[in-house]
Amino acid sequence: MSGPIRTPRSSSPTRGARSTSRARTSPSSARRAGCATGTAWTCTQRERTSRTTPCWAPRAPTMTISATGDRRGFTLLEILVVISLMTFLVTALLALTLNLGQRAYVASTRAMLERVDLSIDKYRDLAGFCPPDGFDAAVTMREGSIEIRSSACLYECLGRPLQIIKQGPGGKVVVERYDSPVMRGLKESELVRGLADGADVAEIGDAWGCPLHYDRLEGEDSYSPQNTPDVHLVPPEYHGPDPREEPGIAVTEAGRGQNPGRYDVWSHGRRGHEPPESDEGTAALLRETIGNWQPPGE
């Protein structure tokens, strides 16, 4: 006896066919879900086993830079241009800084001359005459017998407790002493100290640390040119000419005092007692003079 004949189901796809159909329909399903067309779909083992993350979810885009990419360096010309610009900027900044510093020194020296002017006028009101300069008559320090001149006389008369020596009745010498100096507030940095004959002496200085010059012009023949190093208590190696001897610097006739009947006070300026350069004369140095008179052309 023959058994029943079983006919294969033609409508049922094979297992391989079902897998192919599923693989083909998955991208279309993703597109129906709103995914972008053309996205590369990859699934990891973790994504396949995850119930919340579909295996066709797109990954975040990544960018890879090749180590062998085109890297262009600086050329020699570019490096030289940068170095030139940096050198120019540094030089300009340095020149500006030095210029501002010199202007500050000039302003400080002018302020010192104004203080000296006020102090001399106050001394004149108390004593009846300007402080001596040590040129018309010898002036010695209170301690010892050291002769002083010019700026050292200013410090002796203005920077120390005031002491006025007058001629009293019958030729008697009268000494008036005060507890405080006329010129108060002098700082140590505003003085030029040195040793002369073993004694500690001081002169009133400018902002560059050089002694001022002082010449009393009361009376006839009181003009005293100050051209030599021995004008100062500690003579410098080089001393320039008196600026009042230069026609372009002097207000009045050259070789005369600039404030007749009063006094002249001045500073040699930035280069002090430095000798002139080989390509310039002393006139260039004298033009840097700072005095209590107004030079021509200013």
Residue 70 CA to residue 54 CA, distance in Å, equals 40
Q: What are phi and psi of 42, to 5 degrees?
A: -135, 145
Please enumerate in sequence order all residues whose Cβ is within 8 A of that of 254, keeping only pairs 6 or more positions apart, or say none: 244, 245, 246, 247
Q: Is the residue at 95 inside a domain? A: no
Q: Is the residue at 20 inside a domain? A: no
Q: Is the residue at 134 inside a domain? A: yes
Maximum distance among all alpha carbons in the chain?
182
Q: Is the residue at 158 inside a domain? A: yes
Q: Is the residue at 45 inside a domain? A: no
Q: What are phi and psi of 98, to 5 degrees?
A: -65, -40
pLDDT, tens only, 118-132: 999 999 988 888 999
Element (H, E) at 200: strand 199-204
pLDDT, tens only, 28-80: 454 444 444 444 445 555 555 555 555 555 555 565 555 555 566 778 888 88
pLDDT, tens only, 192-202: 887 666 667 78
Higher per-residue pLDDT: 1 or 110: 110
Please enumerate in sequence order all residues whose Cβ is within 8 A of that of 283, keeping only pairs 6 or more positions apart, or say none: 246, 248
At residue 272 the predicted structure's pLDDT band, cuts being 50, 70 and 90, is confident
Q: Is the residue at 99 inside a domain? A: no
Residue 100 CA to residue 107 CA, distance in Å, equals 11
Number of structural domains (the chain) is 1
Q: Is the residue at 260 inside a domain? A: yes
Single pTM value for the model: 0.64
Domain span including residue 121: 112-291
Q: Is the residue at 17 inside a domain? A: no
